[in-house]
Amino acid sequence: MAVPIAVLDCDLLLYGRGHRTLDRFKLEDVTDEYLVSTYGFPRQFICYLVDLLGATLSRPTQRSRAISPETQILAALGFYTSGSFQTRMGDAIGISQASMSRCVANVTEALVERASQFIHFPKDEATVQALKDDFYALAGMPGVLGVVDCTHVTIKAPNAEDLSYVNRKGLHSLNCLMVCDSRGVLLSAETHWPGSLPDCTVLDQAALTSKFETELHKDGWLLGGSSFLLRTWLMTPLHIPETPAEYRYNMAHSATHSVIERTFRTLRSRFRCLDGSKGTLQYSPEKSSHIILACCVLHNISLQLGLDVWSEPATGHAEQSEEEYEQMESVDSEACRVRQELLLTHFS
């Protein structure tokens, strides 16, 4: 005799039907302290994201339309800040792990779509001058438009076992090129480069280089570490300083450039999915790149809203020093002239 089998509609269980919602969590029912401890951010920040992304996350063509934008955002924030789907958060907001995964994907893509809105160099002269003034106030380094460096974020091995993602530590990673201002606001973030590429090669191929060589090189420069080549728009430290002026230049360079290192620590501390403590990002390189970029957008939004991200402690999983580099020697005579003029004008 045939035994009847109950067939479950998985989509119905996960996403509901029509306008029915599965989430039981109500933002207004909990304290700010609970939101910060569970999702990493206060109510003001979460409400801002709901207003910013709500229309996108409510698109009727998305299968997850039955889960409210508010719940999707909370699920994504929970993943970004904890690095895991296995948290009390799923029970708290009333959705499954599978639904949480879909929420993370939806919110990540919505944030990536808005990356250029929140991550960009200033364009008007007054803001550019304020940027330089803020950097000068740090350690007396003039003309600085941003500090640049690379940081590695580990990912799972791609399905094709692409060796281009294996870094010098033998780990699969993305090498992310970022620029920030004196407050740690990101001005540029390229998160897709394979981990096998050294920093200098990433910069050579980056959109950032094209941008500076064609648009942004106007009486200013970036500060980069010794893993980069000296350029007319990129000032690097002197390998072996000999004169007092050269020592003063190197000290000012180091003190100013340290802002990007602090920014990397802050990103890893706030967004634990990036710091390696919960394992590698379990996504393809493309999706992992988008998650990193989404976290960069959230970092800038938090600064825009006045949240004190500098107070975040370091986690001890920073990867920006993944490689040890020898000093890069520039063959650009014009770049050497620009740096020498800087030494004579401001540090002699």
Beta-carbon contacts of 110 under 8 Å, excluding residues fewer than 6 positions away, are: 53, 56, 57
Instruction: Check if the beta carbon of residue 184 is closer than 8 Å to that of residue 259.
Output: yes
**How far is residue 98's CA from residue 156's CA, in Å, rounded to a whole number?**
19
CA distances from 189 to 50, 157, 179, 300 (A): 24, 23, 7, 11
**How far is residue 313's CA from residue 134's CA, in Å, rounded to a whole number?**
24
| Sheet order of strands, 186-194 included | 186-194, 173-180, 144-154, 221-224, 234-235
**How far is residue 80's CA from residue 271's CA, in Å, rounded to a whole number?**
5
In this predicted structure, what is the pLDDT of residue 51? 96
The residues spanned by each domain of the chain are 23-58+66-115, 120-284+330-347
Q: Which residues pair with 152 in a beta bridge?
A: 175
In this predicted structure, what is the pLDDT of residue 276? 76
Residue-by-residue pLDDT tens, the chain, 348 positions: 444 433 333 333 334 443 344 455 677 778 888 888 888 899 999 999 999 999 999 866 455 447 889 999 999 999 999 887 655 555 566 677 788 889 999 999 999 999 999 999 998 999 999 999 999 999 999 999 999 999 999 999 987 767 899 999 999 999 999 999 999 999 999 999 999 999 999 999 999 999 898 876 667 999 999 999 999 999 999 999 999 999 999 999 999 999 999 999 999 999 999 987 767 898 999 999 999 999 999 999 999 999 865 544 444 344 444 444 455 566 688 999 999 999 999 998
In this predicted structure, what is the pLDDT of residue 67? 85
In this predicted structure, what is the pLDDT of residue 6? 38
DSSP-assigned letter for residue 217: -
pTM of the model: 0.86
E strands, 144-245, in order: 144-154, 173-180, 186-194, 221-224, 234-235
In this predicted structure, what is the pLDDT of residue 204? 95
In this predicted structure, what is the pLDDT of residue 216? 62
